[in-house]
Amino acid sequence: MKKVKIYSPAKINLNLKVLNFDANFRKHKLKSKVSLLKLSDEIQIMKSKSLNIKYYDYKKKLILVEI
């Protein structure tokens, strides 16, 4: 079974400003400054017959979320 592994880098928002609301896209326009960290979450995706999410907290404890 093929497994895809991706990393989601951590960031810190240094500031965040809401500029306005774009009615066409129904979203707020934002301006922010961020700093990327040398930390990341590892995300593994693989084909499965069941719909669930296995999440490991920082202590490597398994938390299972069934959908």
pTM: 0.52
The total domain count for the chain is 1
pLDDT tens readout for residues 5-38: 999 999 999 999 999 998 898 999 999 999 989 9
> What is the per-residue burial (b if ≥16 Cβ within 10 Å, else e) of 22-53?
eeeeeeeeeeeeeeeeeeeeeeeeeeeeeeee
* Residue ranges making up the domain that contains 30: 3-66
